[in-house]
Structure 1
């Protein structure tokens, strides 16, 4: 039973390690053609990406709570305490999973060359983008990430225009 509980906890820990960072590319996105668009950052603002609840945290917490509770008292008490421990463990496990998968992110408002604007939310990466900076928007399989434009990229028309500032 202890091996099962340990296995479930390891799975819950691995689920909490997933990220939406622009610096991490998923294996299935490697060696795929991507679409690239040029743009200029108009504004940025910090946001939080809500944590997920896949159920792994609840299951892990339930197993651990049930095992811990069933070792308390005599036969009759151990069943009752085991059930209560499983329920409490599931609630705590869900909360831990949600908090562990929450991410600090940034919302970027970007103006494209054609004048269209796009708002993109991505996890904070190694780059800190500032209003007025030239960027590229890379789209792969429906997923988008924004990164600083490579050095030597010709300036966008209108890039020196006043930077948009939200109220």
Structure 2
């Protein structure tokens, strides 16, 4: 809560809009209007659902296993996951294609070179970029690329779910 009584939220990292982490729900409206309703009468699931619908936000997965199932069905989602992991790497790690810090962010040491190389291709070298390549382009670039995307996304699923 800020000094003027308004609330400030930030939206977390996303996988191309598939995951919403945090609630960026304050729209500048009157925060005091909700004070008239007692906590006993509030159904948070209903309130969140209403807010998310009005803002066009969706929560794709209730559990990590749901996200893993989606990885198995959607290669483009796996490609977005690789880019999300890449954005978590420090600039030094991106340049060296390695992992220097045990911060549980980005690729693990054993996946850093392959993941960074793959992410650089998918983003056309933009260190903060989104996926710019299609599944077909990935397959043409590296016939094992799609499977690597799935493997890395699955391996880093705990981190991706947290993102």
Specify if TM > 0.5: no
Task: Compute the TM-score of the two structures, normalised by the length of structure 1.
Answer: 0.28
Higher helix share: 2
Larger radius of gyration: 1
Between the two structures, name the one with larger relative contact order (CA 8 Å, sep ≥ 6).
1
